[in-house]
Structure 1
Amino acid sequence: SDDKDARRQMFAGQKAAIIPLARPGPLTLAWWWRYEIMLVVGLPVVTLWAAARFGWPRVIAVMLALVLLVISVPVARREVWGWIRCVYTAHRIRSGCVEALIVNRRGRIPSVLWTSATPYGERVWLWCRAGTTATELERAEEILTVCCLATAVQVSAHPRYPALVLVDVIRDEKARADGPAGTGSGEGYYRRSS
């Protein structure tokens, strides 16, 4: 066991020395940060357009009504908070892959395909590029856990497509244990949690 750990650390060091991390291109960066870009650019543009069309008092009233709706309705609050957690988790999973050196020979990390909120945390679907595997992600569970500020991270390879990997980011162990069978394992791979 100690010999395997020593070889794994040696390989990680060699990989870091040999493989430079690829910088993402402008389109990739725009895709990664699409929600933040829409919030910073799109929201002001839509607000100014609506104010010119309907007037500032109506726009302010609608915005206040939306904020009050999210604050006062638990389902709306849960959905908005789940969406924010999903955006955050996608960024943190990418950072964790960089820190754990889960990269192919071109220095590219696995792609985050989809993130969804679950009662116990988030569920992330990753596409491993050629040269990366679910086994590498499993070995990096501790690093991903720390990066996501989670209680635990569980990695499951797709039973049929090895490049498709499910990462469960667990923030609430009790909710996970109380949930439906298979929500935190490969058995529940096809079930959408939310």
Structure 2
Amino acid sequence: MARNPRNQIYPAYEDLPAARGGGPLVRLWRARAELLLLAATTLFVLALLGATRDGQWVPVVLLTSAVSVPAATRRGRSWVAAHFWCVFSRHRLHRVCMETTMHTRAGRIPLVLWITPTAAGEKALIMVRAGISAEEFEAYAEEIAAACWARGVNVYRHRTRSQFLIVEIVRRDVTPGAASPGLDRLYGRRSWVALRPDLEEPPDLRTEVVLPRAA
């Protein structure tokens, strides 16, 4: 199947300026997860040092247990890994927009409003800028998948507000009956239109209809 013309950067887009990194507030917003993790780690270390300096070992045991016990469980490790991939995919989505034509002539890239783990990978809620559409994300689906180290990417557009779209990053098969670890139910069930004809709705939001077997 022929590639979408939106994938061709030159010569149609050779006058398109490079994307900018954004202002200080935008940079802080994009690095919010890392900043929160840094703040939590700093508070943890300071509390640990203060407790050991004062000879209070009970707070030390409680603090170390709060970190080591979840890390020793499968559920805890899965939670950490799932959110690591969310942060990783968010940064890679930004990078794809900068390296392709998915930014405006002013150099502004789409906003990743929310990203959450799913049973198959991650799902990002994105608001596009003027001049960018969900169809352009679909045209760059292979580039997004490669940048996010994923198996594939599915794109869904909002039924009534086309400035909003969902980029679903697929990393693995979904085990039947497996619960999604994220909060993708907040996206709604019937609000999104798939841009590929073989996808009617996001897989983890689709209501399965079981037909009765013939006697």
Using structure 1 for the length normalisation, give the TM-score.
0.80
The Cα of 1:186 is off from its aligned counterpart by 5.6
- For the pair 1:175 / 2:189, whether they are aligned, the reply is no
Q: Specify the structure having the higher radius of gyration (Cα).
A: 2
What amino acid sits opposite 1:15 in the alignment? Y
Distance, in Å, in 2 between the alignment partners of 1:49 and 1:179 is 38
- 1:122-153 per-residue CA deviation (whole Å, 9 max, x = no partner) reads 01110011111101100000110010000001
- 1:28-87 per-residue CA deviation (whole Å, 9 max, x = no partner) reads 111111121222244213531464368563454234312332233222222222111111
After superposition, the CA RMSD in angstroms is: 3.1
Q: Name the residue aligned to 1:15.
A: 13
- Structure 1 gaps of 5+ residues are none
What amino acid sits opposite 1:26 in the alignment? P
Distance, in Å, in 2 between the alignment partners of 1:145 and 1:69 is 34
Q: Name the residue aligned to 2:201.
A: 187
- Structure 2 gaps of 5+ residues are 180-188, 207-215
Q: In structure 2, do the counterparts of structure 1 residues 16 and 147 end up closer, same or farther at CA, with 3 Å as the change threshold?
A: farther
What amino acid sits opposite 1:21 in the alignment? A
Distance, in Å, in 1 between the alignment partners of 2:39 and 2:178 is 39
Structure 2 counterparts to residues 71-82 of structure 1, below 5 A: 71-82=71-82
What amino acid sits opposite 1:65 in the alignment? S
Contact 1:158–1:189 (8 Å) recurs in 2: no
- 1:90-136 per-residue CA deviation (whole Å, 9 max, x = no partner) reads 11111111122201221111100111101110011100111111011
What amino acid sits opposite 1:120 in the alignment? A
Contact 1:158–1:186 (8 Å) recurs in 2: no
Q: Name the residue aligned to 2:117.
A: 117
Using structure 2 for the length normalisation, give the TM-score.
0.73
Q: Name the residue aligned to 1:36.
A: 34
Q: In structure 2, do the counterparts of structure 1 residues 188 and 9 end up closer, same or farther at CA, with 3 Å as the change threshold?
A: closer
When you count helix as a share of all residues, which structure comes out higher? Answer: 1
Contact 1:103–1:132 (8 Å) recurs in 2: yes
Q: In structure 2, do the counterparts of structure 1 residues 132 and 179 end up closer, same or farther at CA, with 3 Å as the change threshold?
A: farther
- 1:145-184 per-residue CA deviation (whole Å, 9 max, x = no partner) reads 0100000011111111101010010000x2178769x8x9
Q: In structure 2, do the counterparts of structure 1 residues 177 and 166 end up closer, same or farther at CA, with 3 Å as the change threshold?
A: farther
The Cα of 1:189 is off from its aligned counterpart by 8.8
2:167 is paired with a residue of what secondary structure? strand
Contact 1:113–1:126 (8 Å) recurs in 2: yes
